[in-house]
């Protein structure tokens, strides 16, 4: 496993973003772990988060994109910090995000920041693997703005859960919109690293919790 992935997993634990216990997902599933990117709450955390996204982008698709897009609301700070991190690596990339409601005064419109141009390749920055709702809502907005190409979708954590079929929800979204999808880390990488390593002297993923996570994936995980 790449070093940046290991550092990111420990970063999520230290930030209180990755926690273990008894939770219920939006879909109603009972899960033994939860990833809540809304709990990143300091400038230092956001600076580090942007660097991890930049690491994963470089490893995943290199420079095959022209614009970054963050779906409202959680995608807004993610796209900004990622753009800043990439600028620090001598790659100054335009970014934009959407409003939930179109503005009917001032500059008007739904998109804020860079206005996509015909032929540009847009990379979408998201938080965790979802059912793809926000992607399905915002892709039409991007395509209405210009004749863009979807360069890909990156999320922080891929839970590797089934979508409507046997593939993961992330894979299904990628296939639907004909774009590559990838994550900084997957749940399998989280399990491997935290079951073998302590974070600040504590074993956060005990054998009991590991078995609960594996059982959860056995029930809800993708078969592909």
pLDDT in tens, 204-218: 999 999 999 999 999
Alpha helices in 68-153 (DSSP H): 75-87, 133-145
Mean pLDDT over 183-204 rounds to: 97
DSSP state of 161: B
Q: Which residues contact 157 (CB under 8 A, 6 or more apart)?
A: 12, 18, 35, 128, 129, 183, 184, 185, 186, 187, 190
Q: Over the chain, what is the mean pLDDT?
A: 93
The pLDDT tens digits for 108-147 are: 579 999 999 999 999 999 998 756 778 888 899 999 999 9
**DSSP per residue, 109-125:** EEEEES---TT-EEEEE
| Neighbour-count burial for 101-118, b at 16+ CB within 10 Å, e otherwise | eeeeeeeeebbbbbebee
Residue 101: in which H helix or E strand, if any? strand 94-103
What per-residue confidence (pLDDT) applies to 136? 87
Query: For residue 23, what are the β-bridge partners?
Result: 31
Q: Percentage of the chain surpassing pLDDT 70?
A: 95
What domains lie within the chain, and their CATH numbers? 3-220 (3.40.50.2020)
Per DSSP, the three-state class of 200 is: coil
Per DSSP, the three-state class of 85 is: helix
Q: Report the alpha-carbon distance of residue 53 to residue 124 in Å, rounded.
A: 11
Least Cα distance to 199 among 2, 1, 46, 8 occurs for: 8
Mean pLDDT over 99-105 rounds to: 64
Q: Which residues are catalytic?
A: 103, 105
Least Cα distance to 45 among 154, 123, 156, 190 occurs for: 156
The pLDDT tens digits for 51-62 are: 999 999 999 999
Q: Report the alpha-carbon distance of residue 129 to residue 170 in Å, rounded.
A: 6
Above 90 in pLDDT, residue 151? yes
């Amino acid at each position: 496993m790449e070093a940046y992935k290991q550092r990111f997993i420990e970063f999520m634990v230290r930030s209180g973003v990755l926690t273990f216990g008894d939770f219920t997902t939006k879909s109603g599933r009972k899960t033994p772990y939860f990833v809540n990117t809304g709990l990143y709450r300091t400038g230092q955390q956001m600076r580090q988060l942007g660097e991890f996204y930049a690491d994963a982008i470089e490893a995943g698709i290199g420079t095959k994109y022209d614009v970054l897009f963050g779906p409202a609301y959680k995608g807004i700070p993610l796209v900004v910090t990622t753009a800043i991190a990439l600028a620090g690596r001598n790659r100054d990339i335009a970014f934009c995000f959407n409003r939930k409601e179109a503005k009917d005064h001032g500059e008007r419109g739904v998109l804020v920041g860079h206005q996509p141009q015909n032929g540009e390749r847009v990379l979408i920055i998201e938080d965790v693997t979802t059912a793809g709702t926000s992607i399905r809502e915002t892709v039409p907005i991007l395509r209405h703005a210009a004749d863009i190409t979807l360069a890909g979708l990156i999320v922080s954590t891929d839970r590797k859960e089934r979508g409507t079929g046997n593939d993961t929800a992330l894979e299904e979204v990628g296939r639907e919109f004909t774009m590559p999808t990838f994550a900084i880390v997957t749940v399998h990488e989280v399990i491997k690293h935290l079951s073998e390593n302590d974070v600040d002297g504590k074993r956060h993923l005990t054998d009991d919790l590991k078995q609960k996570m594996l059982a959860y994936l056995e029930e809800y995980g993708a078969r592909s």
